[in-house]
Copies of this chain bind each other. A is one copy, B any other.
Amino acid sequence: MEQFERNIEKYAELAVKVGVNIQKGQVLNINADISSADFVREIAKKAYEAGAKSVDVDWHDDHLVRLKYEKADESVFNEFPAWKAQAREELVKNGGAVLSVISSGPDLLKGVDGKRIAAFQKVSGKAMKKFREAIQSDKISWSIVAVPSKDWAAKVFPDVPEEQQQEKLWEAIFKSVRVDQEEPVAAWEEHNASLHTKVDILNEKRFAKLHYKAPGTDLTIELPDKHIWVGAGSVNEDGNSFMANMPTEEVFTLPKKDGVNGQVTSTKPLSYAGNLIENFTLTFENGKIVDVNAEEGEETLKHLIETDEGAKYLGEVALVPHQSPISQSNIIFYNTLFDENASNHLAIGSSYSFCLEGGKTMSKEELSQNGANDSITHVDFMIGSAEMDIDGIKADGTSEPVFRKGNWAF
Contacts and interface: CB of A to CB of B under 8 A. Distances in A.
A48 B73 CA distance: 9
A61 B57 contact: yes
Interface string A54-88: 11010111011001100111011000011110110
A25 interface: yes
Interface size class of A (residues with CB under 8 A): 20 to 34
Contacts of A40: 61, 64
A45 interface: yes
Given A41-B67, A61-B57, A87 B76 contact: no
A98 to B, nearest CB: 15
A34 interface: yes
Contact of A76 (B53, B76, B86): B53
A188 to B, nearest CB: 25
Contacts of A86: 82-83, 86
Contacts of A71: 45, 48
Contact of A81 (B52, B60, B75, B87): B87
A72 B68 CA distance: 34
A40 B67 CA distance: 12
Interface in A188-207: none
A37 interface: yes
Nearest to A59: B59
Stoichiometry, as copies per complex, reads 2
Contacts of A87: 81, 83-84
Contacts of A64: 40-41, 44, 55, 57
Contacts of A54: 68, 72-73, 76
Interface in A64-123: 64, 67-68, 71-73, 75-76, 81-84, 86-87, 90
A57 B52 CA distance: 26
B72 A59 contact: no
Contacts of A55: 64, 67-68, 72
A53 B81 contact: no
Given A57-B61, A83-B83, A87-B83, A48 B72 contact: yes
B57 A44 contact: no
Contacts of A60: 59
Contacts of A34: 34, 37, 59, 61
Contact of A61 (B59, B72, B83): B59
Nearest to A76: B54
A117 B136 CA distance: 38
Contacts of A81: 87, 90
Contacts of A45: 67, 71
Interface in A308-328: none
Contacts of A67: 41, 44-45, 48, 55
A72 B54 CA distance: 5
A130 to B, nearest CB: 14
Nearest to A87: B83
Contacts of A25: 73
Nearest to A61: B37
With a 10 A CB-CB cut-off, give which of A34, A40, A81, A87 has the most chain B CB atoms: A34
A183 B255 CA distance: 66
Nearest to A71: B48
A73 B57 contact: no
A347 B25 CA distance: 39
A394 B327 CA distance: 86
B76 A61 contact: no
8 contacts: A37-B63, A40-B64, A45-B71, A54-B68, A82-B86, A83-B86, A83-B90, A86-B86
Given A44-B64, A57-B64, 6 more contacts: A45-B67, A54-B72, A55-B67, A55-B72, A82-B86, A83-B83
Q: What 7 pairs across the A-B complex have the smallest Cβ distances?
A: A59-B59, A48-B71, A34-B34, A83-B83, A53-B73, A83-B86, A83-B87
